[in-house]
Structure 1
Amino acid sequence: MLETSARLLRLLSLLQAHREWSGADLADRLGVTPRTVRRDVDRLRELGYPVNASPGTGGGYQLGVGAQLPPLLLDDEEAVAVAVGLRAAAGQGVEGIGETSVRALAKLEQVLPYRLRRQVGALNAFTVPMMRSPRSPVDASVLVELAHACRDSERLRFEYRDHAGATTRRTVEPHRLVCTEHRWYLVAWDVDRADWRTFRADRITPRPPHGPRFSPRPAPAEDLAAYVSAGVSTRTYAAQATVRLKLPMAEAAQVVGPSDGVLEPIDDRSCLLRTGAASLEVLVIHVLLMGVDFEVIEPAELTEYVRQARDRFSRALGDGPSIDAEADRAVATGDGSGT
Structure 2
Amino acid sequence: MVSLVRRVRLRTRLALAFAIMCAMLGGMAVIGERGSAAQENASAGVSALQTLSQQVMQLKFRDADVSGWQVAYAGDVATLGGIAATADGSANRKGFLASASALRQELAAVDAGPLRDAEQRLFDTIKSSFTAFLGYDDQVVGLYRAGRAAEAKALIEGAGYDEYYKILDTTEKLIASVNARAAAATAHTAEVARDSRHTMVIAIAVAVSLSVAIAVLLALVITASVVKPADRVIGGLRELAARNLTVELPEDGRDEAADMAREFNAAVAGIRTAVGQVGARAESLTAAGRELSDLSGRLDQQAATTSGQTVQVARAADEISGHVSTLASAAEQMDAAIDEIARSTSEAASVAGEAVASAAAT
TM-score normalised by L of structure 1: 0.19
Please state which structure has a larger fraction of its residues in strand: 1
Q: Which has the larger radius of gyration?
A: 2
Higher RCO structure, 1 or 2 (CA under 8 Å, sep 6+): 2
Please state which structure has a larger fraction of its residues in helix: 2
